[in-house]
Amino acid sequence: MSKEKILVVEDEKHISKLVTYNLEKAGYEACAALTGEEALKLLGCYPFDLIISTLLNFLFLHFCFEVF
């Protein structure tokens, strides 16, 4: 059975690494994006089961409209 894939969208690299590391330790496959644009590129290439994002600005709204 394949692992659930989680996309972490966080603009602070050290937080992104920490969250991704802990998700992988918990048994998930985690990918990180530092920007909304980077997240959109990853979403175009891979199917994700969950997206975790801390972006709360205009770019985040654009990201949401593109994804949903």
Phi first, then psi: what are they for 32, rounded to 5°? Answer: -120, 145
Domain span at residue 49 reads 5-67
Residue 12 has pLDDT above 90, yes or no: yes
CA 19/CA 66 separation, integer angstroms:
24
Structure confidence at residue 57 (pLDDT): 61
Question: How many distinct structural domains can be found in the chain?
Answer: 1
Q: At 29, which CATH number?
A: 3.40.50.2300
pLDDT tens digits, one per residue of 35-64 = 888 888 898 898 999 988 887 665 666 666
Strand locations in the chain, DSSP E? 5-9, 29-33, 50-53
Whether this model's pTM surpasses 0.85: no
46 class by beta-carbon count within 10 Å (0-12 exposed, 13-18 middle, 19+ buried): exposed
Structure tokens at 65: 């409209």
